[in-house]
Amino acid sequence: MAAPVLRLGCPGTRWALAWVGSGFHHRRGASIGSTSNPTREQSAVTQKPLHTAQKPRKGEHKWEAVVGLEIHAQISSNSKLFSGSQVCFSAPPNSLVSFFDASLPGTLPVLNRRCVEAAVMTGLALNCHINKKSLFDRKHYFYADLPAGYQITQQRLPIAVNGSLVYSVWGGKKRNQMVSRTVRIKQIQLEQDSGKSLHDDLRAQTLIDLNRAGVGLLEVVLEPDLSCGEEAATVVRELQLILQALGTSQANMSEGQLRVDANVSVHHPGEPLGIRTEVKNLNSIRFLAKAIDFEIQRQINELETGGEILNETRSFDCQLGCTVPMRDKEGKQDYRFMPEPNLPPLVLYDSTSLPAGADSQQVINIDQIRDTLPELPSVTRERLVQQYGLLPEHSFTLLNEVGLLEFFQNVIKETRAEPKKVANWVLNTFLGYLKQQNLAVSESPVSPSALAELLNLLDSKAISSSAAKQVFQELWSAEGKTAAQVVSEQKLELMQDLEALDRLCLSTMEGHPQVVMDVKKGNSRAINKLIGLVRKATLSRADPALIKDILEKRLRS
């Protein structure tokens, strides 16, 4: 049997990008797949095709993968979606539970304005159409951490629809260009989070924490426009940056503020779409990419060995690095959707439809929210490239690392050094140290001011760049010292005394007549040896270019 074209899941390779660059078609307007079907019914519905695969080679069987994402982002808000309970991560269990959250009979939902504004902001940032009227529905299922027996969500008419998200991946023939791509956003809906079940297998009991029950979520449903784990990871990272820039979600995956489910299927190009599986329990971007790639490869292997794909929910086991079927306790689920009778339609206004004399506390004006949108990551990156002449990929790195952009900008503020040079220091040296020690930017022992001072010394040629590296290492390990202190303590300043340097050059030449002869015979590389010897004599404190100048002058004479 011919090997599949896609070699999936190979560690360390950027396999996906090989064909991202070669055959990408914009897929807007294509028929809508059902990956994002919010009812999540278990019927084996297929997805729309994706025409991005490599051109088929003769005699080869070729597979295409179709990936869709459903992303739940916890809204950053002081109180829950429908109750006044506080929202706070890691509070003592069941300490943030109102009567409504515990579903006491007779309690009613009251919509939190902040959550609506967050949804509108996010919708606008993702180029969505904001529905002036949206509705709430009840989605029923019995689960211990769902006290009411239903979740209030927006099944029929969500607050925002038809958006798009632009993201960039490495592409081009040599996979060395940033290529922009677009994933369509089907809808954004407001809904309640559930509580948490803690299963104690030892005592065969389940403990329920309702602190999270009723916290506002934005469910962002993407069309199945993606085709591999890396694309999915990039999209989720971009969404995370947007949510954080907007302040609508902290979007921290490890704290569960951002949760991603992936729908995956494979098929041959031109053939109907394959049966999809849903992969859950993806709690980091890295695992998301791994899980999707594993699942694609698993499906291909399964199909190539004559097996079939079941329409099932699988979870990612991050220890084993594979997806496994989830025990489906309830069998076929019918969520029995019904309009939520206790909430009137959610009506939003724009500046033209705003009723005269409306109390601004009682109405939400979409245009007003649009005017107050902060700078989005794509614009920030564009600005970095324009303003500082950075490479596009550098702008991505600056935004992708939490706090790095702010660090960079703070260094820029305090240094005369060229922004490009600052970027190199921040992205190579500084980030390298952080990565090596697995530290966050906020945990760095070197402050932006300290680095700025160091770069100023370098810029004024007070120290050499190799000395600068040494100073940086010293700053990293000896917290509290300034760059200038390190330079003076370790005598790292460049020799500015030309006469002394001249004397050193002369004595070096006298000490190595053979090398001098070589140079004079025309061996141009021999001068480097002399430069090295002089530098050594200066304890690396002299500028090599300056040494070269002096030596050349002396050798000519």
Assess 110 for contact with other proteins (CB under 8 A): yes
Q: In this complex, which beta carbon is closest to other proteins, that of residue 136 or of residue 388?
A: 136
Q: In this complex, which beta carbon is closest to other proteins, that of residue 63 or of residue 136?
A: 136
Q: In this complex, which beta carbon is closest to other proteins, that of residue 140 or of residue 548?
A: 140
Assess 349 for contact with other proteins (CB under 8 A): no
Assess 198 for contact with other proteins (CB under 8 A): no
CB 264 within 8 A of CB 279: yes
Among 106, 355, 480, 513, binds other proteins (CB under 8 A): 106
Minimum CB separation of residue 331 from other proteins in Å reads: 11
| Distance from C-alpha of 14 to C-alpha of 286, rounded to nearest angstrom | 14
**Residue 57 gets which letter from DSSP?**
P
Assess 373 for contact with other proteins (CB under 8 A): no
Build a one-symbol-per-residue string for 227-266: x at contacts with other proteins by CB under 8 A, - elsewhere: ----------------------------------------
Among 23, 272, 325, 344, binds other proteins (CB under 8 A): 344
Alpha-helical segments (H) within 431-557 = 431-436, 448-459, 465-477, 483-489, 498-511, 513-521, 526-537, 544-556
Residue 539 falls in which region: left (phi positive, over 0), alpha (psi -120 to 50) or beta? left
CB 296 within 8 A of CB 267: no
| Distance from C-alpha of 35 to C-alpha of 183, rounded to nearest angstrom | 13
| Distance from C-alpha of 126 to C-alpha of 235, rounded to nearest angstrom | 12
Q: Give the 3-state secondary structure of residue 359.
A: coil
How many of the chain's residues bind other proteins (CB under 8 A)?
Answer: 33
CB under 8 A: which stretch of 332-340, 428-436, 504-512, 532-540 binds other proteins? 332-340
- Sign of the alpha-carbon torsion through 107, 110, 111, 114: negative
Minimum CB separation of residue 338 from other proteins in Å reads: 6
Assess 358 for contact with other proteins (CB under 8 A): no
The half-sphere exposure of 449 on its side-chain side, counting CA atoms within 13 A, is: 5
Minimum CB separation of residue 109 from other proteins in Å reads: 7
Q: In this complex, which beta carbon is closest to other proteins, that of residue 41 or of residue 414?
A: 41
DSSP assignments along 239-256, one per residue: HHHHHHHHTS----GGGT
Assess 341 for contact with other proteins (CB under 8 A): yes
Assess 104 for contact with other proteins (CB under 8 A): yes
Assess 111 for contact with other proteins (CB under 8 A): yes
CB under 8 A: which stretch of 95-103, 126-134, 396-404, 486-494 binds other proteins? 95-103
- Residues comprising the chain, all counted: 557
- Residues 29-68 interacting with other proteins (rule: CB under 8 A): 39, 41
Assess 113 for contact with other proteins (CB under 8 A): no
Amino acid found at 332:
K
Minimum CB separation of residue 24 from other proteins in Å reads: 37
- Residue entry with tokens 């929210």: 369
Q: In this complex, which beta carbon is closest to other proteins, that of residue 89 or of residue 99?
A: 99
Among 310, 338, 478, 498, binds other proteins (CB under 8 A): 338
| Distance from C-alpha of 388 to C-alpha of 391, rounded to nearest angstrom | 9
Among 44, 157, 179, 208, binds other proteins (CB under 8 A): 208
- Measured at the CA of 356, the angle between CA 350 and CA 361, to 5 degrees, comes to 70
Return the closest-CA partner of residue 224 out of 338, 94, 348, 69: 69
- Interacting residues toward other proteins by CB under 8 A: 39, 41, 99, 102-111, 138, 140, 142, 144, 147-150, 206, 208, 329, 334, 336-338, 341-344, 362
